[in-house]
């Protein structure tokens, strides 16, 4: 079962109150079939702990890595992921869709 938006935002708040650096990733656009809908969230702390989901597979790992950089430098990023059907399974977009994810630091 996926975490609810309330759970994800509460976790972000808890981590911030504990003094941790935090970023939130949000699916802002999809094309074709995508694993998670627009508005899906993933919250990440500076140690790489996370809650929620923006895609799954290798995409999620790449978003977590970028989020740690966002926490470090404070610069938001928009990430795009998409693959041709023949390579979709290998990178975690089994549907062959494309997604755009916005990653920002939580202050």
Instruction: Note the pLDDT tens digit of each residue in 55-69.
Output: 877 788 999 999 999
Instruction: Please give the distance of CA 8 from its chain centroid, rounded to a whole number.
Output: 11
Alpha carbon distance 4, 43 (integer Å): 12
Residues 6+ apart with CB under 8 A from 72: 21, 46
Determine how many CB atoms are found less than 10 A away from the CB of residue 5. Answer: 12
Strand partners, 25: 42, 103
Domain ranges of the chain: 5-106
pLDDT in tens, 71-103: 999 999 999 987 655 545 555 555 667 889 999
Instruction: Tell me the pairing of strands 98-106 and 50-52.
Output: unpaired
Average pLDDT of the segment spanning 50-59: 86
Q: What six digits make up the tokens of 61?
A: 């790992």
pLDDT score at 57: 73
pLDDT in tens, 19-42: 999 999 999 999 877 788 999 999
pLDDT score at 44: 97
CA-based angle 90:96:100, to the nearest 5? Answer: 100
């Amino acid at each position: 079962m996926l975490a609810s938006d309330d759970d994800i935002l509460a976790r972000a708040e808890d981590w911030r109150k504990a003094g941790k650096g935090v970023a939130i990733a949000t699916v802002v656009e999809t094309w074709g079939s995508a694993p998670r809908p627009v508005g899906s969230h993933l919250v990440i702390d500076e140690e790489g702990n996370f809650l929620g989901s923006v895609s799954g597979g290798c995409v999620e790992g790449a978003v977590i890595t970028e989020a740690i950089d966002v926490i470090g430098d404070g610069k938001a990023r928009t990430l795009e992921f998409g693959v041709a059907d023949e390579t979709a399974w290998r990178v975690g977009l089994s549907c062959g869709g494309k997604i755009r994810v916005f990653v920002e630091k939580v202050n």
